[in-house]
Amino acid sequence: MTSHVPDTHVSPVWGDEAPIVADVVGLISRRITRSSDPKTTARTASELAADAGTTITAAGLGSAQALRIFEDVLAPATRAQDDPYNLAYIPAAPTQAARAFDAAVSSFNIFAGTWEAGAGAIFAENEALGWLIDLLGWPSTAGGCFVSGGTMGNLSALVAARSHVRHLRGRDAAGAILCTVDAHSSISAAARVMDVEVVLVDEDDRGHLTGTATRAALAEHPEVFAVVASSGTTNGGVVDDIADLADVCEEFQIWLHVDGAYGGAGLAAPSVRDRFDGIERAHSFVVDPHKWLFAPYDCCALLYRDVTLARAAHAQHASYLDLIDREAWNPADLAIHLSRRARGLPLWFSLAVYGTDRYTEAIERTVATARAIAHAIDECDWLRLLLAPELSVLVFDRPGWSDDDYNRWSSRLAREGLLLCVPTRWKGQTALRLAIVNPATQAQHTIDVLRETTAQQPD
């Protein structure tokens, strides 16, 4: 018996698509194996319209023309997130293995919302999540799934938190989330979506949320159902006092969510692991492998210490879903989604190929690079280190420069493809910030560029 589907088939509508597939596969492999161009950058929609022409037509452009427009016009109008000297925001440095496998995941077109449709893929995603669960020191009750990003992960975790605390304490007892002003903007976005308040607590002078400040605030705000600790903050890379916050959350019987979208990868780096002490007692956690775990967009690992609490909050019920085996491991039951691609597979593949030791080595290398750059800034007469890296983000300034100087310097370096570093605010002042997540970033090169371009006022 042979399958009723021939290996290659000609669609009655699309015709023979094999040559198109070959063209796209060629593009994928060219792109993955070539280094990216740091000078690519956004352009206006009218410039793009002029160069791309009309792309959606009744008759279709054909693949050669559509691919040419993408490769020559559209792709160059996007920023190279993986350039080793893109150190702005939180860049990304996916392995070639992970990028290639991301293309493979699309080719399999797996529905990974339910075990029944996506078992093999979900099994592999769970292997990757299992590595993170081990790093967290969580028990066998733990589990989770991959969602698009930290924003969706934080929202899903906080919805589970509210549902759990309401169950314990009643509906009215769950009306606010507690965090600091440096918590990521997605936390206040989640609060708006959930129609709950945010109780903002002052940080200590190094930017941490502490147990003492949290205890004092909770005494005045019984409506808080969750504390959000950052590990670390996006702006400063600072890890809140997780162990003290875990004590306080236990005392007040509220949920502790740790937002490690950027910094959670530090769990795998022995030189910074102690900053995460206490995380074994958190209720939920997110980390974006598309930030510091060498996976491509879009990928967030969302984990719960007791996964049954997530199911209680998130499982969707509908007549056509009633046949779904609720005993099985359905990622759809664990976050705000139903249909989903198996977006954890690029991470799984890369981890499986290289092994976890290589991940530890890659993360440690970025931490060492951040420390070396910070040290050189500290030694430089005209630069001032404002925040040494706790993980791999550092903040500094150039005393004597105005906001305009910073902007001109930053634009010039970006234009020349030398370094992408954009101004931020630190303790009310304009400052510069570097985020190192790419093992290919060389400390010495970064230091040379910084010293050479900041000695004088920018022109």
Ligand X SMILES: *Cc1c(COP(=O)(O)O)cnc(C)c1O
Where along the sequence are the contacts to ligand X (CB under 6 A)?
A: 90, 149-151, 154, 184, 186, 230, 234, 259, 261-262, 288, 300
Residue 4 CB, shortest distance to ligand X, in Å, is 42
Closest CA to 222 of 186, 170, 187: 170
Nearest CB to ligand X, comparing residues 90 and 199: 90
β pairing state of 284-287 and 255-259:
parallel
Give the nearest distance from C-beta 144 to ligand X in angstroms.
Answer: 15
**Residue with smaller CB distance to ligand X, 226 or 450:** 226
Taking the least distance from each CB to ligand X, the nearer of 261 and 413 is 261
- Which of 86/151 has CB closer to ligand X? 151
**Least distance to ligand X, CB of residue 86, Å:** 15
Minimum CB distance to ligand X smaller for 168 or for 189: 189
Q: Work out how close the CB of 367 gets to ligand X at its nearest, in angstroms, rounded to a whole number.
A: 16
d(CA 222, CA 174): 8
Find the shortest distance in angstroms from Cβ 292 to ligand X: 9
Distance of CA 224 to the CA centre of its chain: 26
Backbone angles phi, psi at 89, to 5 degrees: 45, -135
* 180 vs 441 by CB, closer to ligand X: 180
Nearest distance from C-beta of residue 267 to ligand X, angstroms? 14
The least CB distance from residue 191 to ligand X, in Å, is 14
Q: Which is nearer to ligand X, 73 or 80 (CB)?
A: 80
- CB 152 to ligand X: min, Å: 7
Per-residue HEC secondary structure of the chain comes to: CCCCCCCCCCECCCECCHHHHHHHHHHHHHHHHCCCCCCCCCCCHHHHHHHHCCCCCCCCCCHHHHHHHHHHHHHHHCCCCCCCCECCCCCCCCCHHHHHHHHHHHHHCCCCCCHHHHHHHHHHHHHHHHHHHHHHCCCCCCEEEEECCHHHHHHHHHHHHHHHHHHHHCHHHCCEEEECCCCCHHHHHHHHHHCCEEEECCCCCCCCCCHHHHHHHHHHCCCEEEEEEEECCCCCCCECCHHHHHHHHHHHCCEEEEECCCHHHHHHCCCCHHHHCCHHHCCEEEECHHHHCCCCCCCEEEEECCHHHHHHHHCCCCHHHCCCCCCCCCHHHHCCCCCCCCCCHHHHHHHHHHCHHHHHHHHHHHHHHHHHHHHHHHHCCCCEEEECCCCCEEEEECCCCCHHHHHHHHHHHHHCCCCECCEEEECCEEEEEEECCCCCCCHHHHHHHHHHHHCCCCC
d(CA 453, CA 458): 8
Closest CB to ligand X among residues 114, 154: 154
- Taking the complex as a whole, how short is the minimal distance between the CB of residue 128 and ligand X, in angstroms? 17
Closest separation in Å from C-beta 395 to ligand X: 15
Residues contacting 32, CB < 8 A, separation 6+: 96, 99, 100, 103
Name which of 84 and 236 has its Cβ closer to ligand X.
236
Q: How far is the CB of 183 from ligand X (least distance, A)?
A: 8
Cα maximum dimension of the chain: 79
C-beta of 90 vs 450, nearer to ligand X: 90
- In whole angstroms, give the CA distance from residue 420 to residue 88: 6
Report the residue number, 115 or 426, with the smaller CB distance to ligand X.
426
